[in-house]
Chain A
Amino acid sequence: MRRGLAPVPFLAPGMIYLILFMALPVGLLAFYTFFKRGRFGGIVFEFTLDNWVKLFEPLYVSVILQSIVLAGIVTLLALLIGYPMAYAIAGLSPKWRTVALIAVVLPFWTNFLIRTYAWILLLNNAGWVNQWLQGLGITDAPISMLYTPQAIVVGLLYMYLPLMVLPLYASLQQLDPSLREAATNLGATPWRAFRTVTLPLSIPGALTGCIFVFVPAMSNFVIPELIGGGKTIMVGNLVRDQFFEARDWPFGATLALLLTILLVIVIVVQTAVSRRLTEGPRRG
């Protein structure tokens, strides 16, 4: 392949654009974390480590832990619900598989805020779920569901469930059916064949799905605000508030960077685990 200057017209425009509007802003944020806040946003050029130290204040530690727990619960639920869905889709005929997959993706392509709003209609005290519960005689008075941490979990789960199903499906679909057949022919019960053959081989897909759900769930600030009523704060809300209310941009930047660092760690661990899992059988 010819080299020299030939790649320049293809690569340069996009790379310059991404350097200017992605690398530079992120770099700038990292830089801001080491300076003092300006009075109305922005920074004062005085070096300080205060922003990073401030992260360890109990208030912020508890918000960070709370976000991890909530996003973790959402991820776990998505896995429990998404796995049987993906498994069922992988068993369909090729034609129905495409239809079933599009049906999983479609809600994802409808406006994020509209989907959030839909849950307000459902979970409100006068909302549909309460009407149904009372109509069926299950409860007498409306149950407060909106503006609770549980509602946040349901909202986040709803948003990101498709992101769990897709990678899981991709890994289940690639499984060689003859492996499971072999297990069954050798006398394994279907459950045992699933547990010893299908399940271990689908772990990389499950891990990818967990990342796809966990990462956006961690940084979401709209659902805690609109469905959680701002009572349960997550890291994303803190970042937003530092920029729009407290006007402490350096600290907001620090929180966002911490969030990103946490997410990068999660992704690196996931990649390492999947690699080990997929290389394992070959080595043995």
Chain B
Amino acid sequence: MVDTTAPTTTAMREVEPSARPRAVRKPRGILVPLWLGYVFLYLPILIVVIMSFNASENLFVWKGFSLRWYPELFADEKIMQGLGNTLIVATGATAIATVLGTLLAYGIQHYTRGGLIRAFAIAPAILPDLLLGIGLLTLFSLASVTLGLHSVILAHGVFATAFVTAIVLARMANLDPSLEEASRDLGAGAVRTFMRVTLPQLAPGIVAGALLAFTLSIDEFVIAFFTTAPTQPTLPIVIYSMVRFGVTPEVNALATILLLVSVVTVIAAQRLTRLTGTTR
């Protein structure tokens, strides 16, 4: 899951940019490559969104506006089964990751000195998804675990945990340690201090981590591909086989909805982290 952690953590850090005086005035042309870059990034997505409102079944010919693919999408049993499976997996993996990741982040921040445990906890984010996917397939098959949604949940829990850990750790660095010290001085134990003092302060960061873990799991293909049973495909696997064996325009409608969900999630998570940044 190399691809996913990096952008968020960097983008998150960006939420509180250090106000610094602008440097030498730059020529206008400097924005041209940026706009071209955006064209490159958004043109393909835009086409899919536009074609989701196409009246024709032909993916390459525009025949006027229609909303027909949206009801057809919801009538498609395969896609709906995939969606249901994906939501189950994402919920399960997020639940595991939120609990384990938050605890790990707290433990790492308070009880470890070297970076070893931290590196281990964040490693799944850097490990190639392919390696994790076939590794888990091998493990499950050796242990005679029947593949299904439960095995995907366990697999997704791995990178999702790394992700939540990283985000909560980053937010924890912003907390005021004197509150925890005060709690300890007043006689509360480690667990009680964590539950009563640290957790409430961390809440927005944890929610942001959970949201992003959820989004990641919804989108994840490779690991799910190796760890699920053919009868229990997640949504990305359904899309994969559709793209492989013939696309229907419903995919455009699905893409548009997924795009909307991602936009809302990313902006919500971004807001939340800004919130944590300022609770200090």
A111 touches B239 (CB 8 A): yes
A31: min CB distance to chain B, Å: 9
Is A161 interfacial (CB 8 A cutoff)? yes
| Per-position 1/0 for B29-53, Cβ under 8 A of A | 0110110011011111101100100
List, in ascending order, chain A residues with CB within 8 A of B247's CB.
117, 120
Given A114-B239, A219-B129, residue A81 in contact with residue B37 (CB < 8 A): yes
Stretch in contact with the other chain, from B4-12, B68-76, B202-210: B4-12
Interface string of B117-146 (1 = CB under 8 A from A): 100110110111111101111110110000
| Cβ < 8 Å to A, chain B residues 87-114 | 96, 99-101, 103-104, 106-108, 110-112
Are B136 and A105 within 8 A (Cβ)? Answer: no
Interface centre among A14, A88, A222 (most CB of B within 10 A): A14
Complex: how many Å from CA A97 to CA B60?
36
Is A256 a contact partner of B131 (Cβ separation < 8 A)?
Answer: yes
For B132, list chain A residues within 8 Å (CB).
Answer: 22, 25-26
Contact of A147 with B by CB under 8 A: no
A91 at the interface (CB under 8 A from B): yes
Is A245 interfacial (CB 8 A cutoff)?
A: no
B136 touches A25 (CB 8 A): yes
Chain A nearest CB: distance from B86 CB in Å? 10
- The CA of A117 and the CA of B45, in the complex, are separated in Å by 10
User: Residue B13 at the A interface, CB < 8 A?
Assistant: yes
Size class of the contact patch on chain B: 35 or more
Q: Is the CB of A113 within 8 A of B47?
A: no
A100 contacts B by Cβ under 8 Å: yes
Partner of A98, one of B15, B117, B236: B15
In the bound complex, residues from chain B placing their C-beta under 8 Å from that of A1 are: 110-111
Which of these binds chain B: A56-64, A125-133, A276-284?
Answer: A125-133
Q: In the complex, are the beta carbons of B266 and A14 less than 8 A apart?
A: no
Interface string of B252-266 (1 = CB under 8 A from A): 001100110011011
CB-CB under 8 A from A84, the residues of chain B are: 30, 33-34, 37
CB atoms of A87 and B117 under 8 A apart: no
Let me know if A177 and B21 touch, CB within 8 A: yes
Count of chain A residues with Cβ under 8 Å from any Cβ of B? 102
CB pair A17–B161 under 8 Å, yes or no, is yes
How far apart sit A3 and B244, CA to CA, in the bound complex (Å)?
55
What B residues does A116 contact at CB under 8 A?
243
A87 x B60 contact (CB < 8 A):
no
Q: Is the CB of A42 within 8 A of B141?
A: yes
Q: Does B24 contact A3, Cβ atoms closer than 8 Å?
A: no
Whether A85 pairs with B37 at a CB distance below 8 angstroms is: yes
Contact assessment for A158 and B266 in the assembled complex, using a CB-CB cutoff below 8 Å: no
Residue of A nearest to B27 (CB): A190
Asked if B20 is an interface residue, CB under 8 A from chain A, the answer is yes
Interchain CA distance A271-B191 in the complex, whole Å: 37
On whether the beta carbons of B106 and A21 are closer than 8 Å, the reply is no
When the two chains form the complex, which single residue of B60, B100, B161 contacts A124, counting CB atoms closer than 8 Å? B60
By a CB distance below 8 angstroms, the chain B residues around A239 are 130, 134
- Taking CB atoms, residues of chain B closer than 8 Å to A9 are 103, 190-191
Q: Which of A47-55, A66-74, A162-170 contacts B (4 or more CB under 8 A)?
A: A162-170
- A29-B121 CB under 8 A given contacts A81-B37, A111-B255, A170-B13: no
Asked if residues B34 and A26 are in contact (CB atoms below 8 Å), the reply is no
CB atoms of A25 and B138 under 8 A apart: yes
- The answer, yes or no, to whether A89 is at the interface (CB within 8 Å) is yes
**Across the interface, which residues of A come within 8 angstroms of B136, CB to CB?**
21, 25
Contacts of A160 on B, CB cut-off 8 Å? Answer: 3
Q: Are A110 and B8 in contact (CB under 8 A)?
A: no
Query: What residues of A have a CB within 8 angstroms of the CB of B106 in the complex?
Result: 10
A117-B48, A165-B37, A240-B130 are known; give 20 further A-B pairs, CB within 8 A. Answer: A10-B110, A14-B161, A25-B135, A25-B139, A42-B141, A85-B33, A88-B34, A100-B34, A111-B218, A111-B219, A111-B239, A118-B47, A121-B51, A159-B3, A161-B37, A161-B41, A166-B6, A180-B23, A252-B134, A263-B128
Q: Can you list the 6 inter-chain pairs with the closest CB atoms, starting with the nearest?
A: A25-B135, A10-B107, A177-B23, A118-B44, A84-B33, A7-B111
List, sorted by A's number, 7 A–B pairs whose CB atoms are closer than 8 Å.
A7-B110, A87-B30, A102-B270, A126-B60, A177-B22, A216-B3, A221-B222
